[in-house]
Amino acid sequence: METLTLRPGEPDAGKRVDAWLAGQVADLTRSAAQRLLEDGRVTLNGRPLAKNYKLTGAEALTVSLPDPEPLDAVPQDIPLDVIYEDADVIVVNKPKGLVVHPAPGHPDGTLVNALLYHCGGSLSGVGGALRPGIVHRIDRDTSGLIIAAKNDFAHQALAAQLQDHSLARTYECIAVGGFREDSGVVDAPIGRHPVDRKKMAVVPGGRPAVTHWEVLEHFPGFTHLRCRLETGRTHQIRVHLSSIGHPILGDEVYGKAVPGLQGQCLHAVALRFVHPRTGEIVELSCPLPEAFQAQLRRLSQRR
């Protein structure tokens, strides 16, 4: 059981505690927050709070999170856009909105469930029961290429390439604002946000993170970028661009939502890796999704 101490601030005064909790604890929905309150797992000075309790903004709340219930990843017939596949690896163009692996709040309907069905259970076990085959992840609302390993030999070889940066991952995105330079690097450590546990942030003592960016096209108030990851931290491109004042268009967590646009304009457009068995260089790419292209067309019309 994990115990947290959470402190709302003055801007939170008047908010219902169940809604506020859902915004503070990773993977906690409002209904799950209500269950915690009903079970007496959220206390103030040792006294359980009701789910409709209104915050004053000066509390120190104690939250006791129960141990997660075990999940089983099961095969599910979910369509996949397979870009490359052989006996060792499979590369998929993941659509926006598809979660990569089962987790609390997303027990099924994930890429892992789809891969288990498509590959007939032939996936590496290095990632554990809930992440079979998964070498690296991309966010739910990020689309594009993701590679999975079909056996432990391939998984270990690809994981080593992630460590030495020979597995190259290239993204395209639309960033808010204009850039004076044509290219640059954001080298800033990333860790859990000190207040909002659902977010990551550039923080002292965080894990090293390096993002290379290059301008593809300028628009009034926006910029089309290509980004290359040197490291692969959670939400890395989103956090890094936001930290330099250029959040990704449509990013509801690190920027702001855009009416009619679900999720951020961020797409994993290319992969380059050394095939774990043959030693040959494999270079793959996929087109930008239609929603991304539509945003580029709209921005072009503003000129």
Quick one: 169 and 135 in the same domain? no
Domain boundary among 163, 190, 220: 163
pLDDT, position 292: 96
pLDDT digits (tens, 9 = 90+) for 34-58: 989 999 999 999 999 998 999 999 9
Cα torsion for 111, 225, 234, 59, to the nearest 10°? -120
Percent pLDDT > 70 in the chain is 95
pLDDT, position 72: 67
pLDDT digits (tens, 9 = 90+) for 214-232: 999 999 999 999 999 999 8
pLDDT, position 288: 97
Confidence class for position 16, pLDDT limits 50, 70, 90: very high
Quick one: 95 and 47 in the same domain? no
Quick one: 228 and 102 in the same domain? no
Domain boundary among 163, 179, 206: 163
Can you give the residue range of the structural domain that contains 48?
Answer: 2-65
- The mean pLDDT value of the chain amounts to 91
* Of residues 9 and 240, more confidently modeled: 240
Q: What is the CATH number of the domain that holds 150?
A: 3.30.2350.10
The half-sphere exposure of 27 on its side-chain side, counting CA atoms within 13 A, is 10
Domain boundary among 146, 163, 180: 163
Quick one: 188 and 264 in the same domain? yes
- Over range 92-117, report the average pLDDT: 89
pLDDT at 21 over 60: yes
Q: Provide the token pair at 270.
A: 């290319």
* Of residues 248 and 28, more confidently modeled: 248
Residue with tokens 């709209």: 298
Which of 99, 24, 101, 100 shows the shortest CA–CA distance to 65? Answer: 24
- Over range 109-133, report the average pLDDT: 84
Catalytic center residues:
139
* Of residues 74 and 69, more confidently modeled: 74
